[in-house]
A and B are shown apart, each in its own frame.
Chain A
Amino acid sequence: MTGAGDETALNLPAELRRAVASLGGPAAAGAVTTSDLSIDEELNLHSLGWEPLELVSGYSVFSVAPGYWSWGQGEIASASAAHDGAFRHAIARMHRDAAAVGAHGVVGVHVERVVASSHVEISLLGTAVRPVGTRAIPADQVFVSDLSARDFTLLRTAGWEPLGLAVGASFVFAPRRRVGTVLQQQSQNVELTNFTEAIYAARESAMERMQKSALALKGTGVVDVKVVEGPMSFASHAVGFAAWGTVVRMVGDAHQLIHPRAVVSLNDLDVAFDARKLE
C-alpha cells in the first residue's frame, strides 16, 4: 500500500485493468479463505506475517432454574453458573472450529449475549488466523480474542500476545425492604443500600471470576474489558454484572515502546461557525 506523496505510487487505473483481466478465467489454484475482516484489518495482519483462514463461530445456551430471580438473598447462583457455562462451551466450540482449519487464534470475536429469565445465550463469531506457513496446533492452545485485527497488530508490535477470553459474571438479589422501611422512605430521596450493596457484590464476584480465568490462562493482565451491568428487565430485585476481555502476556523480557506519532486532523469535528447566528 502506498501513501500520498509516495514516489512509488501505483498506477491505479493500470492495476484496475489488470484486476479486471484476471476475471476472464477460473480462479488460480490455492486455499480458499473466508473472513469478516475489512481489507485494512487483513493488511494489518499481513504486516505481522499472519493471515486469515476461516470464519468461525461458537454458541451455547444454558438453562436457568426457575424461581431464583424473584425471591431470595445473595447471589443468584443458578444464573451466574449458566452464564459461565454458556461462555465456556461457546469458547470451546470456537477453539475446535479454529483448530480444525489449522488456526493459531481467532481475532475480532463479536460477542452477543442474551440473559433471559429462563436461559443465558452466548454467540461468538470471529476470523481464525495463523502465522503464514505454520502448522496446526492443539485446540486448547488456540487463542480466542475480541481484539480487532488492528488492535492485535498493535499488541504484538508492543511485544505482547493474546491468550484467550477471560469472563466473569454475577447476578445478585437485592433483598426487599421491610414494609416499615418502605413507608418511611416513600417520600424521601435516599440511597437504597440494598441495591447499592447488591451491585457491589455482583461487581466484586464478577471481577474476581474474570481475574481467576485470566490467571488460569497464565496471563498477566486483561485488556479491552467490556462491562455490562444493571437491573434485569424481568426481575425487579435482581442486578447483574458481567465483564469480559482479552487476556494478554508479554512475549519477551520487556514492553516494546511504540512511540506513536502525534497527528492533528484538519477535519472540523465541531462546527465553529454557524451562519444562522449572523445578524
Chain B
Amino acid sequence: MGDRPADLPEALGRRISDGSFTSGLSVAEFAACLELGLEPVGLAQGFCAMQWSTYAMGGAFARGIAPYGGGQGGYVENYQCPHGMVSGEHRAWGQNYQQTWIEDAWLKGFSSAYSRMLEEAQALGAHGVIGVVDTVGHLSDLGIIEFHLRGTAVSVPGATAPPTPWSTYLAGQRLVKVIEAGFAPVAIVAAVASVRVWAYCMTEYLMGGTAGFFGGASDPVEIAQIVAAQLTAREIVRSSARTQLHGDSLHGASVSVLEREFEKGDLEIQALLRGNRLRRFKEFDALAVPRATVRLS
C-alpha cells in the first residue's frame, strides 16, 4: 500500500483499510485480468466540476465592431464581405478562431479528474488503472460541467510500483492482446479542439440556402469558411494528442466532432479525441496470415 494523500475522503480511507477490492470489470475482463497476472485492488475514481460560462464571450455585442478573436493565440482566419457596404445588419466580416480558453478549461477539468483517479489508485497501492471510462456532462442547469473518470486499479505482483500509475481504456482480452503484441500501456490520451465560427455574409447565405437570392451563387459551391473551421478543429485535436505521446504511439483512437449553433451564424465546432498511448517494449514476429472461418450458428 502506498502513502495515502492527506486529502482523500475519509470514507475512502476506511474502505481501503477494510481490504476487499471493488472493480468495474465484467466477469470476462476480470478473468482475463487474472490470467495476465494483474490483481484488481479497487475501483478508482476522479471527479471535477467546472464552471462553464465562457461560451458567452463575444456574442452579439462584438459583432460588427471589429474582428474579435486572435488575442488568445492559436488559429485565427478573417473573411471579408465582397459586397461593400450594404446595411448595418449585413455581416461585413466573418472570423474563425480557436477558443484556447475553452480547450484549456476542458483540459483542466479532465486532467484534474484524471490525476485524482490516479491519486486514488496510488493510495490503493496500484501500479496501473485499466478499463478507464470517462464521462463529461452537465451537472444541474447552472452551467457546470462534471468530469468523471473511473477505472479498475490493478497491481502487478513482483513488479516495482511506478512513480505514477499507468492507465488505459483497454481491459480484458484487448489488453491481453496488446501485451502479447509487444505494447505496454502508458496512459490514456484525451484532447479537445474548439473553433468558433462567426459567419460572414457569404457563409450565412450559403448555409441558409439564400445564396441564389443574395450571394449570386445558384450553383452548388463549397462553403470555404466552414470547411476551414472543420479541418482546423481536426488538425488541432490531432496535434494536441501528438504532444501527449512523447515518442510513443496512439492506438484505438476515436474522434467525435460536435457542431453547435448558439445563434444564427454563430457556431462552435468541437473535436474530441480519445485513445491509448502505448509503448513498444519488444519486437514481435508478424502473425501468419489469419485463417478465415465461417460461423455456422
Contact = CB atoms under 8 A, between A and B. Distances in A.
Contacts of A62: 220-223
A78 interface: yes
Contact of B255 (A49, A125, A269): A125
Contact of B292 (A37, A65, A67, A260): A260
Interface string A38-50: 1110111011110
Nearest to B250: A34
Secondary structure dominating the interface of A: mixed
A73 B246 CA distance: 59
Interface string A49-88: 1000001010111111111000000000011011001100
A62 B208 CA distance: 12
A30 B250 contact: no
B15 interface: no
Contacts, number: 223
A39 B247 contact: no
A220 interface: no
B220 A65 contact: yes
Interface residues of A, number: 73
Given A23-B162, A42-B251, A55-B255, A117 B209 contact: yes
Contact of A55 (B208, B209, B253): B253
Contact of A16 (B156, B208, B217, B248): B156
B245 interface: yes
Size category of the B interface is 35 or more
A35 B231 contact: no
A39 B227 contact: no
Interface in B252-297: 252-255, 257, 275, 279-282, 286-297
Interface of A: 1-2, 10, 12-13, 15-24, 26-30, 32-40, 42-44, 46-49, 55, 57, 59-67, 78-79, 81-82, 85-86, 89, 93, 117-120, 123, 125, 153-154, 157, 258-265, 269
Given A55-B253, A118-B209, A119-B206, 13 more contacts: A1-B181, A1-B287, A27-B246, A34-B253, A47-B290, A60-B222, A61-B227, A63-B221, A118-B208, A119-B223, A157-B292, A258-B292, A263-B295
The 6 closest A-B pairs by CB, nearest first: A13-B37, A118-B209, A27-B247, A19-B184, A22-B281, A82-B220
Interface of B: 35-38, 127-128, 156-160, 162, 166, 170, 174, 176-181, 183-186, 206-213, 217-223, 226-227, 230-231, 234, 238, 241-242, 245-255, 257, 275, 279-282, 286-297
